[in-house]
Amino acid sequence: MVDPYAWLRDPDDPATVPHLEAENAWTEQVTARLDGLRSTIFEEIRTRTQEDDTSVPVRDGDWWYYGRTETGSSYPLHCRRRDRGDHSGPDGPESVFFDPNPLVEEGGYLALGVLDVSPDGNHLAYAVDRDGDERYELRFRDLRTGDEHAEVIPEVSYGFAWAADAGTCWYTLQDEASRPNRVLRHRLGDDPSHDVVVFTDDDDHFHVTVGPSRSRDVVAITAQSAVTTETWVLDAHHPDEAAQVVAAREHGIEYDVAHRPGELLVVSNHDGADDFAVWRASMNGMASAARSEWKLLVPHETGRRILGVEAFAGHTVVHGRSAGSSAMWLLDDSSGTLTPFEMDEPVGTIHPGTNPSFDTSIYRFGYQSLTVPASIIDQELATGERTVRKRQPVLGGFDPAQYQSAREWAVAADGTQVPISLVWRPDRVGDGPAPTVLYGYGAYEASMDPWFSVARLSLLDRGGVFAIAHVRGGGELGRHWYENGKFGAKPNSFSDFVACARHLVDTGRTSPDLLAARGGSAGGLLMGAVVNLAPELFRAVVAEVPFVDPLTTVLDPTLPLTVIEWDEWGDPLHDAEAYGWIRSYSPYENIRTDVRYPAILATAGLNDPRVGFHEPAKWVARLRDLVDGAVTSSLDERPVLFKVELGAGHGGPSGRYDAWRDEAFVLAFVLDALGLNR
């Protein structure tokens, strides 16, 4: 079709920004009657949050590091205190080594891509993004004097590592398509124009990053596409030496490494290990054994997805997934036996914590669920003894016993069972259908594991239910779950979500007039496809930074991420079959005129490098053109609304207060649609 809104792709078109400003004004006008509810929800979030708070200190070298928030400050202070000398805890006065608050104007955007202290504790590297386009400016600070180093390096990405000498470092630079493709070596005090390129990847399918090993002996350069990995290692003690490859890239083979003196532990899917296994590769200097000489340590087991391995001086921790849930195991290196980290709840999430020290007998991990706030737990590995170091405080009389969670299974159109995680407050939900928000994502093998949310309490305490549809395309049930929701099988993600919605309706938990759907980014594509597939099932839909014009985007290899995305969605530029399947589900191309759509709220960030603002802008405009009743000033008549952040990117507002206001805006829209606007 001829695209009547193609001009919106150009942010420099003189009509674009005025159009977006008009959209914001219209959305504000239509939702103005929700101002009071928005203010109430914001205050609920604020008063339930302990604004003055401190994270659990973590030891790294001679210092204990922690974050601290203060009432009225949007960003946390980064602090440290000296170790008392026996590694038992911090001692001495607090040092605030980085305060981001003075760097941003009121209501402005600020994100950190790098925040890394040198091994000797004397220098700080930090990289700042001020508009949300994820192009960072790298700077250095002398922590002994507080003075800034003269050099400034623009256009950096996320990866960074210090050498052992604490004066040399490596960082990544981006190309014109926002692809990190080069690793450079820098010496503190030198002119960045003299920095040495140590690695370049000219294949547009690959993104490059760099990072240190926990042992601090090795720095790893990783080039990764959606389906293939290649890792090179640098000697942290001899930073001028060239990188050496661990295993040359082979299409479809992924691997990740953890260093221990004399060896690498490798998590990979080679040799038919679809859900990944763990190998040991010996090292001679920086040269590692050939892949054919790796020794199998943890064999592949179908349905047990291994995601990573952490090597310490005296122990090894493996993390992954089992039976649809997150999992972690302590590995016996001699026998290959895995001992699970047991948790009490069946619907919860366990994940690695911050463990920078290589020589330690204590492992820190995190746990949370739909009813239990995020917790930081230390486990003494020799005895199994656990200490809860901190549980996220929730003020205002919060009692987790008042809430209930469950796991249910919907049956998809092809007979596949799809898990749903739910949470509600039984004393606020009656026997009949309840207002419900169904959330989904379903791409990149990303698992939407149950998480706790303070903001979500504003829904639950009003009698709402929150549910997560763990659709195919995610990684909840292993690699096959992902592969059955990508390429030509992508429609499974959409039909799975519809099956979950129908399950909630058919079991009497909710009804179409009481059901809202929510998703962002690739989950926004899910929302756009679902409202075309089954609009009658939903009263309202929130599509945040939604990927709703995928065909146009992945046809353009000059856009950020497009080429690497071909391994997720298909390459419609060179493959007619891929063009056909993307065209068949693209929300922008498949708007229907024979149905009544739910109320829709779409969001975007003008500087978003991941999903261009023009995608939801075009989608909303086209919906209004084609759908009867979409243009209305009444929330009762199911409008199509668009809210765009003109100074932010993919993640929306960056400061915590602005983020709470943004969430209050979305929740007010949803609660009003579901009749919970009290």
What are the catalytic residues? 521, 608, 650
493 neighbors 526 (Cβ within 8 angstroms)? yes
271 neighbors 278 (Cβ within 8 angstroms)? no
* Residue from 517, 649, 516, 533 nearest 584 by CA: 533
Place of tokens 């922008």: 588
* Residue from 390, 345, 322, 552 nearest 58 by CA: 390
- Alpha-carbon distance of 632 to 638, in angstroms, equals 8
**Cα 408 to Cα 179, 367, 371, 426, 501, distances in angstroms:** 40, 21, 16, 17, 12
- Alpha-carbon distance of 119 to 188, in angstroms, equals 14
Residue 95 identity (one-letter amino acid) = S
SS3 string, 514-578, reads HEEEEEECHHHHHHHHHHHHCHHHCCEEEEECCCCCHHHHHCCCCCCCHHHHHHHHCCCCCCHHH
- Alpha-carbon distance of 440 to 521, in angstroms, equals 10
CB within 8 Å of 96: residues ≥ 6 apart: 77, 78, 79
Q: Helices (DSSP H) in 561-655: which residue ranges? A: 562-569, 576-585, 614-626
CB within 8 Å of 394: residues ≥ 6 apart: 48, 49, 373, 454, 457
- Alpha-carbon distance of 53 to 360, in angstroms, equals 27
H or E element in which residue 343 lies:
none
546 neighbors 602 (Cβ within 8 angstroms)? yes
Helix (H, G, I), strand (E, B) or coil at 179: coil
* Residue from 446, 547, 554, 560 nearest 135 by CA: 560
- Alpha-carbon distance of 543 to 530, in angstroms, equals 11
Q: DSSP secondary structure string, 437-452? A: EEEE---TT-------
